[in-house]
Structure 1
Amino acid sequence: MTLQYKPLAAMLAAMGFACPALADHVVTVNGGRPTSLPTQIPTTIEGITGAQVEDRINAFDSEDALKYLPSLNVRKRFIGDYDHAVLASRASGTGNSARSLVYADGILLSNLLGNGATYTPRWGLVTPEEIERVDVLYGPFSAAYAGNSVGAVVDFQTRMPSKLEAHAKLSWAGQDFEQYGTDSRHTGRQYSASLGNRAGALSWWVNLSRLDSDGQPIGFANKLLSSGVTPKAGEPAGVPVTGAIADRNPSGKDWYILGSTGQVNTVQDHAKVKLAYDVSPTLRASYTMGWWQNDVVRSVESYLRDSAGNEVSSGAINIGGKRFTLLPSDFAGARADLEHVMHGLSLKTHGRGSFNWEIAGSAYDYSRDLARVPTGGGRGNLTDMGGSGWNTLALRGNWRAGIAHQVEFGAQRESAKLRTHVTSLADWVAGEGGKHVSTFNGNTRLESLYAQDTWRLSPEWKATLGLRHETWRAYGGEISGAAGKLLPFSDRREQAWSPKAALAWRADEAWTLKASAGRAVRNPTAAELFQGSIVDDKIVNTDPNLHAEKSWTSELTAEHMTAKGSRRVTLFSEGTRDALYSQPLTSTVNTVQNVGKIRTRGLEFSQQADDVFTHGLALQGSLTYADSEIVSNDAMPSSVGKRQPRVPKWRANMLASYHVGQHWTGTFGVRYSGKQYGTLDNSDPNGSTYMGVSDYLVADVRLRYRFNRQWTASVGIDNLNGEKYWAFHPYAQRTVSADLKFDL
């Protein structure tokens, strides 16, 4: 099957319809696959095809496909950012990774072992070249998904050939980075190859890739000016140094920037094998195996120099007559050796009868996960998370009682296992074994039953009612300190109901009005629940009664569609009780605690159109306003009335793509995010500095040339205007990329 896609066609293709092209330049995709999202529910779903990503977006990582979708932002700091690329949505910021779900071919990629920057989706298990299409469901309006869907559900569908296919791609990117005392150049290279075919009842696909990326420094050693001490007579004054850069921290306090840290070199290898066998004309068995390996080196550079010009990175120093002490952690490099494996297996019917079913299971395993950091004097700590991972099992049914009635139901189980063991090493780079430092373990399990009923009440009216019941368990939590004695946490068990509803009215051939509402219960992750420290053989600094987040979300949409475009306006609202955030427990300790209530109200506008003003010019864009306010918070009263962290009031993007004949495509894009805060009490107004969260306006360009059916080449620039912007760490600055691709 050959489908021809234009911007408007993305949504129709999500429902399985082929859309003929209207212009002489088309993007052709063989063997198009529909989304697995519940498109029968009348609510907001946005999407983009893999062909459009290749044609218009500078994509090194799979999350780049989401770059221009409404209200979304992925906190990707550099190419290959594997541990901080959190997805933000309408009412969720880039610190809330557990408030969205990411799937690839039905396999869970979201890392629900914890919530935050270090528990990002496993984007590396999908390469851009594999993407057939990606779609996003905005909000918890489907009963088929857990409460983590409160922000968004992202569904990647990857290629499965209907005939012999072979692809190869070489990509390169480079940026010049200037910040504080750093003036450096960083490059990345990516090599990928794919091969697939269908022979009779068997289809198969193999994808191999390697990414070798040097990211810019993402951290900076610093000292508050107020922490300096004026030496008294007879006291050591410290080594006089130059090179410290005076700056102000996010709170507006004076500090010195002493050097850069966290300059990452990541070498990632990826392999994917997909098999599908048609047991019968209506029954298909599918298996997917993904393998990902990552070797990481994080480097540091001190700006400080003594009187002889030697670099200084340790000991007591003197800046402007004040003494400061450099700790081992100030200029600490790091190394990591990671190997993760995922499996997915499904058996699914796709007949034209009234009933279809599916059994699907997946597993994600931290086969090897070692991180090394120095602690001084050549010594260091080794953190081993091997054995961590998650698995899922789902049984689904779909009953079509005539053309106007469809019922979905199912049972699901999702289990997560967190294992963390820290030892000290005499040699932090190459040492093995070592003395026990700490252990942290915990498990969670979510068992769910759901059903949702969609009725076509009349040609103009459509309604969906859904209900989800969840039983959540947290068990096996334990922690130990250097003494090695494991202390247990209490097990937890909770149940919750989550109703859903949606209604659509088709006013005429062009206009449709839609309303959706749903409840979502986002349970604590193992890392959030099983937290604390040990004092006198007791666990302290923990909240054993941590509650689940409970959100009611609603939206009202007006949508206008024509043969050459669509426009959508959506009013949305979300009220969340017991939101999970890290807050001060004592004057010196922060732990995850519940925020009483956060209320978000907003407006989202989205538009896409073909042949605007001239033949071949396609435009798409969105504008989002979100007023997200902390309404109550007993744990931190100073935060009441303040904005939710990392949810800007204004977000916008625009992408213009112009096709010239059969060979050339030029694209220009703009992304904007307004002022944000990184703290609950908004005490960090200075966003344009290390640890700050800033607004930004960046422009991207891409030029693609198709030599013939087999060969294409592209060049592009992300952040064309060289914007310097932050989300605690600095984002990449102006980045030039180029790629060459062969398609058989």
Structure 2
Amino acid sequence: MKKTICLAFASKLVFLLLPNDLYAAHEDHTSGKEKPVVFNPMVISATLSEKSIEEVPGTLHLLDKEKIRLRNVRRAGDILQEAPGVYIWGASLGSHTSSANRASRISIRGISGGSRTLVLLDNQKMNDPAFGSFNWATLFPEDIERIEVIPGAASALYGGNAFAGVIRVVSKKPVEREISLTGGYQFNTPESGYGSAVYRDVFDNGFAISAGYRYETSSGYRDIWSFSDPARNQAGPKGTAVTGATSTSTSRGTPTFLVGDRGNAPWNYHVGQIKAYYDFNPDTKISGGLRYLFSDVESANPTSYLRDVNGNPVISGTVNVAGTILDRITPSLFLNANSHEDDLRSFLDVEHKFSNRSTLSLSFSHLLRNFWFTSVGPASRFDGGPGTSAHAPQQLVNGQGTYSFHIGENHFLTTGFQVEQGTLKRRDYSLSNWQDQHSRTTLNLQADAEAITTSFFLQDEISLGDRLTAYFGTRLDWWTAEGKSRDFQSNTIKPNTKQSAVEISPKLALVYQAPWQGGVLRASAGRAFRPPTLQDMFVDSRRGINLSYANANLKPETALSWEMGMEQHLAATDTRLKATFFENRLFDLITTKNLVRTSTSSESIAVNAASGITRGIELSLGQPLASWLRFHASYTWTPTAKILKNNANLTAEGKRIPSSPKHLFTAGLEANWHEWAGSLTGRHVSKVFDSAENTDVIHHVYGGFQSFWLLDSKLIYTYNKMAEFSFAANNLLNEEYFQSIPNPGRNYVAQANLRF
């Protein structure tokens, strides 16, 4: 029914927006605003050198600044979810809490895990060394020129983390003097406000500058609920008779009761940056800059739904719900603790062209990240009480050199080296007051760890004729990690342990310009690896009764990926078609092995124990309907995404890989008509599993992941070259669906943008 409504709505919009005189002489419908980019822009991610998008080896999905402008993009994930094969959810989206370590997921072609996808901002690696994650709020849309998505094994050029693919965000560079002010407000779930200011300028002496600031504040929404299971000993105390509890189940079908929620999780963040560019001459350029993020996630207004016979809230004790005794209720059941992060990133890039046939590039980046979160305990109260805090300060230093040059007329080589060092100093404390992370009493855990990777890579672009080009590359990574820890609670000392591996990641690709007009055929195959994070190797973690042991003997995961596809441009109708078949074979996957599991305790350890496979097809279509209106659609079908072997969990064998939807579909309209512009976009994501055993079969409950259809729209009015106003309506059909948590319903965003 909802599919029919979506199609009817889209058809109705097309019909209403097609005036009779539209097929008359062509006009410039984008006057007063930026013109849409042409189809064939230059990209850099696939080869580390500028290439036409039609020439790149392998699949590359381009999300340009015009597409970003036509969508309601508050964080990069809002537009990345339209890339074929990409399933993204959580803190990468603008309607969710801004956090690196709060629930956030990404899957590319069925391979899930944030640390398995490399994210770059220009030449900077964004993944941190401890968790392999980062805060998507660090990237603000007003500074994004384009996003390039490369699915599949990319370790031949990028090394570790480029396991499922690479996402490179390319920032805007100054081309003229410009001041841009943006402000917006989201109504409904959740209410939030945001704003940004960007200044760019180019001077006559070759110097250019870009400075920007963005903030967001939100009241949050109630996304974490409180549950209590029926007590195992029903013959125990009868307890306080209460009302207000709702009988439900977990996503695995276990009976439970919804007894409250943990209140709102309001958040705010601030991002500031400054970048400078200097061209000594047309052949020698240097750039550098700083970027700082400050982010807080808080808790507010926890609520118990339980009421005694007098109507008073019940937040503790043994309770009886119509004859069913629940596990003991404590205030901590309704409390959601706070988290904070700030990171400072710096970079320096140098480029020198020795001639038209050779270029040297040097890049350096540095990250200082401080992340902490607090947790409540059984004795915590709404107004305070004991708790814990975990602090994870990290540092990442990355240096890279690339030299590209021609050998003869048929070879273009790209060679380079990279050295990366990541460190983690984890400290966990007991708190006398869970609301104050400075109220530390005792040190519970101390862990110090470091990882160093030294890499060398080579890629040869070989011209095999007028139509056929081959790319062959390989990379050698020498990875070492060492660390030590001490758990003062259990008095467990883990002495300094060192682990190392040498990974060789080759890749071969062929690009054939077909003899018929507008056709391109591609094929590629490569190997990738993903080293374990420092958290996986050296930090034992506790959450309530759950204790997860680190494993210093973990080794890198590996993958073999291949794809073949075609792209066709029909000049007569300006139709663009793309089809790709892909397969990924996964080895030595890091998974969890249960050691102890009872009603009162759970212990597990990370091990290399699983292998898997994903296989599917990506299809995309772009079709102008008029000079001012364009239709686009993409569909990814991943029928195979399963665990082939899991020595640590035999029940997971043959099951679908978690967070890997079988169907991803996006279709929409983009319009530019005189001073008006806008988009209408529909998206479908099929259900996914959260558990390795695929036992979470109840989807419309907390913790469940169900399929959904969404319809979003945005309307833009350009008043003049200086002022633009927009209004977006998200989830137009008010779809109610769970992606672990209940997702926001219909909401609206009003935005104004001023340019000087």
- TM-score, length of structure 2 as denominator length: 0.88
Deviation at 1:402, TM superposition (A): 5.3
Work out the CA distance in 1 between the residues paired with 2:432 and 2:488: 19
The counterpart of 2:198, out of the listed 194, 198, 201, is 194
Counterpart contact for 1:677–1:687, Cα < 8 Å: no
The aligned amino acid for 2:143 is: E
Contact (CA 8 Å) 1:436, 1:484: kept in 2 or not?
A: no
Letter in 1 for 2:529: V
Which amino acid is 2:28 matched to? D
Q: For residue 345 of structure 1, what is the aligned residue in structure 2?
A: 348
1:443 aligns with 2:461: no
1:47 aligns with 2:62: yes
Aligned residue identity for 2:303: E
Q: Percent identity?
A: 22
Map residues 165-314 of structure 1 onto 2, 5 A cutoff: 165-176=178-189, 186-199=190-203, 200-225=205-230, 227=231, 229-232=233-236, 235=237, 237-261=238-262, 263-299=264-300, 300-314=302-316
* Superposed CA offset, 1:269-297 (max 9, x none): 11010111112321111112001111221
Q: Assess if the C-alpha contact under 8 Å between 1:90 and 1:151 holds in 2.
A: yes
Are positions 1:603 and 2:606 aligned together?
A: no
The 3 A distance-change label for structure 1 pair 328 and 422 is farther
Task: State the match for 2:524 in structure 1.
Answer: 516
Given the alignment, which residue of 495, 499, 505 partners 1:488?
495
| CA displacement at 1:476 relative to structure 2 | 2.1
> Are the equivalent residues in 2 in contact too, given 1:86–1:121 (CA < 8 A)?
no
What code does the residue aligned with 1:87 have? I
Q: 1:742 to 1:403 in 2, by over 3 A?
A: farther
3-state SS in 1 of match to 2:161: helix
Task: Output one character per residue of 1:427-484: Cα deviation in whole Å (capped at 9) or x when no partner.
Answer: 2223433211222332222211110101121111010001111111111232322377
Which region of structure 1 is more displaced relative to structure 2, 45-54 or 525-534? 525-534
Q: Aligned with 2:592: secondary structure?
A: strand
Asked whether 1:545 is paired with 2:545, we answer no
Cα 1:275–1:473 change in 2 (3 A) is same
1:79–1:213: 8 Å Cα contact kept in structure 2? no
Equivalent position amino acid for 2:57 in 1 = P
- Which amino acid in structure 2 is aligned with residue 565 of structure 1? T
SS of equivalent to 1:470:
strand
In structure 1, list runs of 5 or more residues that go unmatched: 1-21, 177-185
Indicate if the aligned counterparts of 2:548 and 2:605 stay in contact, CA closer than 8 A: no
Deviation digits for residues 176-231 of structure 1 (CA, Å, limit 9, x no counterpart): 4xxxxxxxxx3010011111101121110110111002222222111223x35434
Aligned partner of 1:520: which letter? Answer: A
**Could you say what secondary structure the match of 1:276 adopts?**
strand
Report the 3-state secondary structure (helix = DSSP H, G, I; strand = E; otherwise coil) of the residue aligned with 1:412. Answer: strand
Structure 1 stretch displaced more, 482-491 or 686-695? 482-491
Question: What is the total number of aligned residue pairs between the two structures?
Answer: 695
Map 1:673-684 → 2, pairs under 5 A: 673-684=685-696
Q: Which amino acid aligns with 1:202?
A: F
Would the aligned equivalents of 1:85 and 1:121 in 2 still touch at CA under 8 Å? no
- Residue matched to 2:432: 426
Q: 1:82 to 1:541 in 2, by over 3 A?
A: closer
Equivalent position amino acid for 2:726 in 1: S
Is the Cα contact below 8 Å between 1:287 and 1:346 reproduced in 2? Answer: yes
The aligned residue for residue 710 of structure 2 is: 698
Change (3 A) 1:485 1:676: closer
Residue type matched to 1:741 in 2?
N
Q: Structure 2 matches for 1:579-618, cutoff 5 A?
A: 579-587=589-597, 588-609=602-623, 611-612=624-625, 614-618=626-630
Q: Is the 8 A contact 1:79 1:188 kept in 2?
A: no
Q: Is the 8 A contact 2:98 2:137 kept in 1?
A: no
Q: Cα deviations across residues 609-664 of structure 1 (Å, max 9, x unaligned)?
A: 2x22x33111222111111111111111111111111111111111211222x211
Relative to structure 1, is the Cα distance of residues 663 and 319 closer, same or farther in structure 2, using a 3 angstrom cutoff? same
Against the structure 1 CA distance between its residues 50 and 31, is the aligned structure 2 distance closer, same or farther, given a 3 Å change threshold?
closer
Relative distance call for 1:475 and 1:620 in structure 2 (3 A) is same
1:4 alignment counterpart:
none
Q: Secondary structure at the match of 1:529?
A: helix
> What does residue 659 of structure 2 align with?
646
- Give the corresponding residue for 1:502: 509
Name the stretch that deviates more: 341-350 or 709-718: 341-350
Contact 1:41/1:454 (<8 A) preserved: no
Using the TM superposition, give the Cα deviation of residue 558 of structure 1 relative to its aligned residue in structure 2, in angstroms.
1.3
**Residues 499, 553 of structure 2: 8 Å contact kept:** no
8 Å contact 1:266–1:297 — kept in the other structure?
A: yes
Are 2:488 and 1:473 aligned?
Answer: no
TM-score normalized by structure 1? 0.89
2-side partners of 1:339 and 1:384: how far apart? 15
In the aligned structure 2, how far is the partner of 1:586 from the partner of 1:568?
Answer: 49
Change (3 A) 1:107 1:492: same
One-letter amino acid matched to 1:465:
F
CA distance in 2, matches of 1:293, 1:531: 25
Cα distance change on mapping 1:303 and 1:599 into 2, 3 Å = same
For the Cα contact (< 8 Å) 2:471–2:510, is it kept in 1? yes
The one of 122, 145, 163 aligned to 1:132? 145
Matched residue SS, 1:694: coil
Amino acid at match of 2:306: L
- For residue 367 of structure 2, what is the aligned residue in structure 1? 364
Q: Which sections of structure 2, spanning at least 5 residues, go unmatched?
A: 1-25
Deviation at 1:350, TM superposition (A): 4.5
Aligned-pair distance for 1:407?
0.7
Deviation at 1:486, TM superposition (A): 4.9
Measured against aligned partners, the alpha-carbon deviations of 1:376-410 in whole angstroms (never above 9, x if no partner) come to: 15333343535313221111111133564311111
Alignment partners' CA distance in 1, 2:549 and 2:157:
36
C-alpha distance in structure 1 between counterparts of 2:195 and 2:258, whole Å: 37
Structure 1 residues 23 and 633 mapped into 2: Cα distance closer, same or farther (>3 Å)?
A: farther
Report what 2:106 is aligned to. 87
What is aligned with 2:21?
none
Shift of 1:31: 12
Secondary structure of the residue that 2:98 maps to in structure 1? coil
Residue 489 of structure 1: how far off its partner (Å): 4.6
**SS of residue in 2 equivalent to 1:308:** coil
Deviation of 1:81 after TM superposition, in Å, equals 2.8
- Higher alpha-carbon deviation: 707-716 or 309-318: 309-318
